[in-house]
Amino acid sequence: MDRRDQTTHFGYRDVPLGEKQTLVNEVFHSVASRYDLMNDLMSIGLHRVWKDIMITQLNPPKSEAPFALLDVAGGTGDIAFRAAKAGGPGFRATVCDINADMLEVGRNRARAQHLDDRVCFVAGNAEALSFPDRSFDAYTIAFGIRNVPRIDVALREAYRVLRPGSRFLCLEFSTVDVPGLDRLYDLFSFRVIPPLGRAVTGDAESYQYLVESIRKFPRPNAFAEMITAAGFARVKWEILSGGIVALHSGWRL
Ligand code: SAM
């Protein structure tokens, strides 16, 4: 099928595959300057805990040995900064994101935290990374893959740029199946988050997209199958906070 004829989801809307990225870019252009504040408010600070769990799994070496992390859809740099603080003098991170506004916020934060010598920011698309084959020791993507139009292509790119023996880690919103919590979570998602988005960023629609896109993302087992299909081995996942989030991992062997 011609790419122009294929459709995908943008939240609950079906859109041509080629248009999703433009719509996603508009979302993050609109919210970039208040993105970090909104994360704290709408997750009641929990995103910090989930990100710390990801860094614990990543376990960057504390030594002087070189270790190169690629954080894709890294936005304002949260994962890279946490990893840099946990890693040793040999640690370097590259934050790759498609959105210039998010990267600009990230660069300013890196300077403010004196991490700009160890974390660099590069514009790029997860579906077509500009890095050579086998050039990184770990690949992370947090709350990013859901936004990428062709997830299977991005996963194959992740595999390509990783050195054999290195790790893929993906943190993403998932499916809440706990009775009681699911209704509460839906209520909070649809009744609280978009109005909160309007109050803080002036943009409710972007946060409506956020809550809808979460519902359209594959369940943990289906996503694990996609990671395996991209070539990764020993794929597993951990459910966090009753299924609000899942942390998937795999190895390029
Ligand atoms: N990882 C950061 C975090 O956890 O705070 C930012 C996550 S933010 C929800 C999603 C990010 O994905 C945005 O910065 C957006 O620009 C980026 N993004 C969306 N599509 C992308 C693509 N195709 N390639 C790279 N980045 C993309």
Nearest alpha carbon to residue 60 among 118, 1, 145: 118
Structural domain contains residue 32: yes
The phi-psi region of residue 64 (left if phi > 0; otherwise alpha if psi is between -120 and 50; otherwise beta) is alpha
Residue-number span of the structural domain to which 103 is assigned: 26-252
- The pLDDT, as a whole number, for residue 134 is 98
User: Where do we find the tokens 């009753």?
Assistant: 242
Burial of 127 (0-12, 13-18, 19+ CB in 10 A): middle
> Is 140 close to ligand 1, i.e. is its CB under 6 Å away?
no
Determine the Cα–Cα distance for residues 145 and 35; give it in Å rounded to an integer: 17
Structural domain contains residue 14: no
CA atoms within 13 A on the CB side of 109: 23
110-164 pLDDT per residue, tens: 999 999 999 999 999 999 999 999 999 999 999 999 999 999 999 999 999 999 9
Residue 2 has pLDDT above 70, yes or no: no
Query: DSSP of 179-239, one letter per residue?
Result: TTHHHHHHHIIIIIHHHHHHHHHS-HHHHHHHHHHHHHSPPHHHHHHHHHHTT-EEEEEEE
Tell me the pLDDT of the chain averaged across its residues: 96
Structural domain contains residue 229: yes
Residue 1 has pLDDT above 70, yes or no: no
Rounded average pLDDT over 161-189: 96
204-232 pLDDT per residue, tens: 999 999 999 999 999 999 999 999 999 99
Structural domain contains residue 202: yes
Distance 178 CA to ligand 1 centre (A): 28
> Is 70 close to ligand 1, i.e. is its CB under 6 Å away?
no
Distance 32 CA to ligand 1 centre (A): 11
* Residue 212 near residue 15 (C-beta atoms within 8 A): no
Alpha helices, DSSP H only, in 34-171? 35-42, 46-58, 78-86, 100-112, 151-161
Residue 4 has pLDDT above 70, yes or no: no
Percent of the chain with pLDDT over 90: 97
183-207 pLDDT per residue, tens: 999 999 999 999 999 999 999 999 9
- Could you tell me the two tokens for 94? 């590259």
- The pLDDT, as a whole number, for residue 5 is 77
Number of domains in the chain: 1
Distance 102 CA to ligand 1 centre (A): 8
Structural domain contains residue 100: yes
Q: Whose CA is nearest to atom 9 of ligand 1?
A: 143
Structural domain contains residue 81: yes
Structural domain contains residue 1: no
Structural domain contains residue 93: yes
Residue 175 has pLDDT above 60, yes or no: yes
> Is 74 close to ligand 1, i.e. is its CB under 6 Å away?
yes
Distance 97 CA to ligand 1 centre (A): 6
- The pLDDT, as a whole number, for residue 116 is 97
22-69 pLDDT per residue, tens: 999 999 999 999 999 999 999 999 999 999 999 999 999 999 999 999
Checking DSSP bridges between strand 13-16 and strand 7-10, what pairing results, if any?
Answer: antiparallel
* CATH at 81: 3.40.50.150
Please state, in angstroms and as integers, the Cα–Cα distance from residue 23 to each residue in 20, 180, 184, 202, 222, following that order.
5, 33, 29, 17, 25
User: Where do we find the tokens 């943190």?
Assistant: 171
Nearest alpha carbon to residue 217 among 133, 141, 166: 141
Backbone φ, ψ for residue 163 (5° rounding): -75, 150
User: Where do we find the tokens 């992390």?
Assistant: 69
CB under 8 A, 24+ apart: contacts of 223-226: 223/170, 223/172, 223/248, 224/248, 226/151, 226/152, 226/155
Instruction: Please state the atom number of ligand 1 nearest to the C-alpha of residue 32.
Output: 14
